[in-house]
Amino acid sequence: MKTVQLKKSKGGSWEYLSENITLKKPLVLVFGSRFMLDNDTIYSEIKNLFTDAHIVFGSTSGNIISNLVEDESITITAIEFEKSTFLIKTVNVLTTESKKDSFKTGNDLIQKLPQEGLKHVFVVSEGSFINGSQLTKGMNSATNNNLLITGALCGDGARFEKTITSYNETPKTGEIIAIGFYGESLEVSFSINGGWTPFGPERTVTKSKDNMLYELDGQPALDLYKKYLGDKSKELPGAALLYPLNVTSKEEDHAIVRTILNINEAENSMILAGDILEGSKVQLMMTNVDNIVNASELAAKEASESRKNKSEVAILVSCIGRKLVLDQRTEEEVEEAIEVIGKETTICGLYSYGEIAPFYKENNCQLHNQTMTITLISE
């Protein structure tokens, strides 16, 4: 496996972060600021750098490359696989018949990939229109919960205006990309961890629909949430990223963290990043910088401990909510992961609106919020 990494800051030119070597038909992961990717010339610009490449674009809430976390920039990680292969398929939720059916979208996307020899799928999904909970369930259904799938819902800073993605074309809205990896020598491991702690009373969801939360214990959900936040409720919806929900349901073996993306004052409701079922139990969550950094280190240890071979590429997907808590110390969670993974491993990734991965030591992927998800790859 060979890799090349570059970055470009706003108003600047491309800067190589590694040796500039020639790669054959590489997979090129391009993560960056939505405003910088939303440019008619960006595809041709990168195509000129890697003429025979397979180029995947995704907008972010922050880019991870090497030990850096970048905001107003575009980062490139180009990977040449020497022993294994990859295949890329896409769907667009704005143009397909499954526009309103995220489960079908996920199922259709994975079905496009030949199953023989398929070892792993990494998903780069638009993050504005898709129901991530149903997307992951649909992807699992296509493989009978027997395929490792990791990935991310793309981001747009803390703006939540629009996200853009694409494969071998100018980035656009609505696109979901699945990168399928094949080969006997390929080794992929992963882990996730959050570092958030539930607090306060546990309440029951008495009214919800999909990712809309209306009532807890028969009371308007938004009123209760504001009560817990106190003075910080004046900073909603932004403040909600710092106080997610711990959701436990009978359909899941594990509690799932759910970020509150927005609020609806007229309906006294909250819009979550994933589905929340009636009858689920909900608690507020909180964290601090040390807990988040420690969780990143733990995820790296878990992803590394079962490996037979040293990882060559690490894809880190963390959450916009974690970035807001860490603030000026954001790079610490990346640095802690690198200390475990090793500085010789090529590090790339993004801050997202949702992380896609199974729970540790499981195989069926889920939509997560507020976690650090680490995927390690070697061949």
CATH code: domain of residue 263: 2.40.10
- CA–CA separation, 218 and 235 (whole Å): 25
CA distances from 338 to 199, 288, 299, 379 (A): 31, 20, 11, 20
Residue 220 CB neighbour total at 10 angstroms: 17
CA distances from 363 to 138, 178, 269, 314, 366 (A): 14, 17, 33, 19, 9
Give yes or no for a contact between 345 and 312, defined as CB atoms under 8 angstroms apart.
yes
Q: In this predicted structure, what is the pLDDT of residue 97?
A: 62
- Residue 277: name the closest of 254, 255, 250 by CA: 250
Q: What region does 349 belong to: left with phi over 0, alpha with psi -120 to 50, or beta? A: left
Question: Is the peptide bond prior to 198 cis by the omega test (within 30 degrees of 0)?
Answer: no
202 and 168 housed in the same domain: no
SS3 111: helix
255 and 298 housed in the same domain: no
Q: In this predicted structure, what is the pLDDT of residue 274?
A: 85
Q: In this predicted structure, what is the pLDDT of residue 96?
A: 62
- CA–CA separation, 6 and 52 (whole Å): 17
- CA–CA separation, 109 and 373 (whole Å): 22
12 and 104 housed in the same domain: yes
295 and 212 housed in the same domain: no
Last residue of a domain, one of 285, 307, 322: 285
145 and 48 housed in the same domain: yes
How many distinct helices (H) and strands (E) make up the chain? 8, 26
pTM, whole model, 2 decimals? 0.94
- CA–CA separation, 328 and 343 (whole Å): 22
With a cut of 70, which residues of the chain have pLDDT below it?
96-100
Packed helices 330-341 and 289-305: angle between N→C axes, nearest 10 degrees: 20
Last residue of a domain, one of 260, 285, 310: 285
69 and 124 housed in the same domain: yes
Number of domains in the chain: 2
Give yes or no for a contact between 358 and 365, defined as CB atoms under 8 angstroms apart.
yes
DSSP string, 86-107: EEEEEEETTTSTTTT-HHHHHH
Q: In this predicted structure, what is the pLDDT of residue 262?
A: 84
365 and 296 housed in the same domain: yes
Q: In this predicted structure, what is the pLDDT of residue 251?
A: 77
Strand pairing partners for 209?
212
Last residue of a domain, one of 285, 312, 344: 285
Where in the sequence is the domain holding 223, given as residue range(s)?
Answer: 198-285
Q: In this predicted structure, what is the pLDDT of residue 168?
A: 98
Q: Enumerate residues 6+ apart whose C-beta is below 8 A from 229.
A: 236, 239, 243
Q: In this predicted structure, what is the pLDDT of residue 335?
A: 97
144 and 127 housed in the same domain: yes
Q: In this predicted structure, what is the pLDDT of residue 253?
A: 79
